[in-house]
């Protein structure tokens, strides 16, 4: 078996990275995947940058031990806290990270006002500060930390009155400020898109970076000569969690229709 036949590794604190996983599987149908949900440590957003760095390194090590050829850090919090560190620690492994899509939002805004929602720790990282300074100098950027939303998605509470109330509380100040672009800066949030759309109405653009990340994965694979060769065999997908396997299996089925292998990581 050559390295190009090895799986892609994808990691997140929980099920949020599945919003990236589904896009990768759609765009790259010949690739096998390993998905690691670090549900033993969720939410990352409630931890310090140093702690998140440690969790991400452990998750990265797990995926490499299981033969991943490239790792997608499908978590804004972990990318902000740990992407540089992961690249230094595992120098031969290609990593693709996430960052809130401030650049396209700043390019497309007509009102000149852009909103970003993310977990608190994402706004603390250097990555976000750099991003804001580089791409949002000419627009007004409103950042809104959203504690509680990751937990709502993990619980499958996508359209409950409690989740709607939380979303309304976080989004109303952004709408009052006149945003016409809303950046989803956490991979859990695309699963709340319908509920968010109900609140923001049809005129505010909702930006999910998953399609751009999947395109970036395809580019890196190609540059490194690591793309899987198209064959007739069925693709293999395997999900792992540092939490409860039965729970992840139920979540993955409900969120992205996944019915394959789910194993407790040991
Ligand atoms: N999906 C993760 C992100 O994109 C959630 C982080 C967390 O667990 O707080 O940031």
Q: Tell me: pLDDT of 133 over 80.
A: yes
Count of structural domains, the chain:
2
> Is 201 in the same domain as 226?
no
Three-state DSSP string of the chain: CCHHHCCEEEEECCCCCHHHHHHHHHHCCCCCEEEEECCCCCCHHHCCHHHHHHHHHHHHHHHHHCCCCEEEECCHHHHHHHHHHHHHHCCCCCEECCCCCHHHHHHHCCCCEEEEEECHHHHHCHHHHHHHHHHCCCCEEEEEECCCHHHHHHCCCCCCHHHHHHHHHHHHHHHHCCCCEEEECCCCHHHHHHHHHHHHCCCCEEECCHHHHHHHHHHHHHHCCCCCCCCCCCCCEEEEECCCHHHHHHHHHHHHCCCCEEEECC
Q: Which residues contact 202 (CB under 8 A, 6 or more apart)?
A: none
Check whether residue 190 and residue 244 sit in a common domain. Answer: no
Ligand 1 atom with minimal separation from the 98 CA? 4
Q: What is the mean pLDDT of the chain?
A: 96
- Parent domain of 198: 102-207
Please say if the pLDDT value at position 86 is more than 90. yes
**Which atom number of ligand 1 is nearest to the Cα of residue 13?**
8
> Could you tell me the two tokens for 13?
């604190």
Read off the pLDDT of residues 109-121 as tens digits, 9 standing for 90 and up. Answer: 999 999 999 999 8
Which ligand 1 atom is at minimum distance from the Cα of 122? 10
Q: Do residue 94 and residue 214 come from a single domain?
A: yes
Q: Atom 9 (ligand 1): residue with closest C-alpha?
A: 45
Residues 24 and 81 in one domain: yes
Are 230 and 179 contained in the same domain?
no
Question: Ligand 1: which atom is nearest the Cα of residue 41?
Answer: 8
Q: Assess whether 112 and 199 both reside in one domain.
A: yes
In testing the pocket of ligand 1, which one of 45, 128, 209, 255 has its CB within 8 Å of the most ligand atoms? Answer: 45
Domain boundary among 207, 230, 249: 207
- 26: exposed, middle or buried (C-beta count within 10 Å: 0-12, 13-18, 19+)? exposed
Q: How far, in Å, is the centroid of ligand 1 from the Cα of 43? A: 6
Residues 129 and 140 in one domain: yes
Q: Which of 158, 191, 207 is the last residue of a domain?
A: 207
pTM over 0.75: yes
Query: What pLDDT is stored for residue 35 in this prediction?
Result: 98
Instruction: Report the pocket of ligand 1 as residue ranges, CB < 6 Å.
Output: 12-14, 16, 42-45, 75-77, 119, 122, 150, 186-188
Of 122, 121, 11, which is closest to residue 61 (Cα–Cα)?
11
Could you tell which of 51, 77, 185, 192 is best to mutate to test the pocket of ligand 1, judged by most ligand atoms within 8 Å of the CB? 77
Known catalytic residues are: 75, 186
The per-residue pLDDT for range 3-18, each reduced to its tens digit, is: 888 999 999 999 999 9
Nearest Cα to Cα of residue 46 among 193, 179, 151: 151
Site to substitute for ligand 1 among 15, 44, 49, 124, most atoms within 8 A of C-beta: 44
Same domain, 10 and 81: yes
pLDDT average, residue stretch 59-81: 97
CATH of the domain at 174: 3.40.50.1860
Domain shared by 191 and 221, yes or no:
no
CA of 42 to the centre of ligand 1 (A): 8
Q: Which of 165, 182, 207 is a domain's end point?
A: 207
User: Within a 10 A sphere around the Cβ of 206, how many other Cβ atoms?
Assistant: 14
Same domain, 87 and 122: no
pLDDT tens digit string along 7-48? 999 999 999 999 999 999 999 999 999 999 999 999 998 889
Rounded distance from Cα 186 to ligand 1 centre (Å): 5
Q: What separation in Å is there between the alpha carbon of 225 and the centre of ligand 1? A: 30
Regarding whether 94 and 214 lie in a shared domain, the answer is yes
Residue percentage of the chain with pLDDT more than 90 = 91
CA of 12 to the centre of ligand 1 (A): 7
Read off the pLDDT of residues 161-178 as tens digits, 9 standing for 90 and up: 999 999 999 999 999 999
* pLDDT recorded at residue 1: 67
Specify whether 218 is located in the same domain as 196: no
């Amino acid at each position: 078996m050559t390295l190009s036949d090895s799986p892609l590794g994808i990691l997140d604190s929980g099920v949020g990275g599945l919003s990236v996983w589904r896009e990768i599987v759609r765009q790259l149908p010949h690739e096998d995947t390993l998905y690691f949900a670090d549900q033993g440590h969720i939410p990352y957003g409630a931890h310090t940058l140093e702690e998140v760095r440690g969790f991400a390194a452990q998750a990265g090590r797990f995926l490499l031990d299981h033969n991943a050829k490239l790792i997608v850090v499908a978590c804004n919090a972990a990318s902000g806290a740990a992407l540089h560190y992961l690249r230094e620690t595992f120098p031969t492994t290609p990593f693709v990270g996430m960052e809130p899509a401030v650049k396209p939002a700043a390019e497309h805004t007509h009102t000149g006002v852009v909103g970003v929602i993310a977990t608190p720790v994402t706004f603390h990282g250097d990555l976000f500060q750099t991003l804001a300074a580089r791409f949002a100098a000419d627009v007004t950027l409103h950042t809104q930390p959203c504690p509680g939303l990751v937990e709502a998605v993990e619980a499958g509470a996508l359209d409950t009155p409690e989740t709607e109330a939380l979303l309304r509380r976080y989004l109303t100040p952004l709408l009052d400020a006149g945003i016409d672009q809303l950046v989803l800066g956490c991979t859990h949030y695309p699963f709340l898109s319908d509920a968010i759309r109900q609140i923001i109405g049809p005129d505010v653009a909702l930006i999910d970076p998953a399609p751009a990340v999947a395109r970036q994965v395809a580019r890196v694979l190609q540059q490194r000569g690591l793309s899987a060769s198209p064959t007739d065999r069925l693709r293999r997908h395997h999900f792992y969690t540092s939490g409860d396997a039965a729970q992840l299996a139920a979540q993955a089925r409900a969120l992205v229709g996944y019915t394959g292998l789910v194993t407790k990581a040991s």
